[in-house]
Amino acid sequence: MTPEIRKYVTFIEDTLIEGHKPANPPLRMAAIAAVLKNPWSGRFVEDLRPEIHAFAPILGQEMVTRLMPLVGGGDRVQAFGKSAIVGVNGEIEHGSALIHTLRFGNFLRDAVQSSEFIPFSNKRGGPGNSITMPLKHITQGGTRSHFLTVEFNIPDAPGPDEVLIAIGVATGGRPHHRIGDRYQDMEELGHDQTVRPDKG
């Protein structure tokens, strides 16, 4: 059993100037999406595991193999994320089934030497729907400089009986980031009992 993949689509964004000031170094964000036939479309399936076990490793390996050269290799990656959009004849659970499994995500983690949780978005939508993918730092989840969003769309995907899944990475944080991070806030606010240090 193998996934019926209609196409792969890649996205690259290079930020050279931000806030009227050159980005040094420039920030590259890159993503790859796979558009495939939804194996569960149009019916309720109680056990999704056979397709998860069969499809997720194939998709994870191939997508990571295609993505890493876009940024010059896994050692250049500082942030990552993933996303799924399910066509209207499917359930959001179907997209979740393909991206929320270690059989898929571990290929990306291994490529960038991370053991962190990968941020995500998943929803139902039609062709041209926006892929809005949150990113975070690959090892330091509270590093706000790397709270980024990759956003693009595919005009003809997903179709009603398709699933679109995507992974994305960034080579750094926002150019000229200067708002500090969650760890600094926790240290500073730890002495102020009027503000909860575990929020934000």
Residue 15 has pLDDT above 80, yes or no: yes
Which pLDDT belongs to residue 182? Answer: 77
CB 41 within 8 A of CB 95: no
Confidence of residue 100 (pLDDT cuts 50, 70, 90): very high
The SS3 call for residue 52 is helix
Domain boundaries, the chain: 5-175
Which pLDDT belongs to residue 181? Answer: 80
How confident is the model over 43-95, as pLDDT tens digits?
A: 999 999 999 999 999 999 999 999 999 999 999 999 999 999 999 999 999 99
* Identity of the amino acid at 176: H
How confident is the model over 109-122, as pLDDT tens digits?
A: 999 999 999 999 99
Mean pLDDT of 159-169: 98
Confidence of residue 184 (pLDDT cuts 50, 70, 90): confident
Contacts of 85 (CB under 8 A, 6+ apart): 95, 122, 123, 124, 125, 129, 131, 158, 163, 164
Percent of the chain with pLDDT over 70: 95
Q: What is the CATH number of domain 5-175?
A: 3.30.1330.110
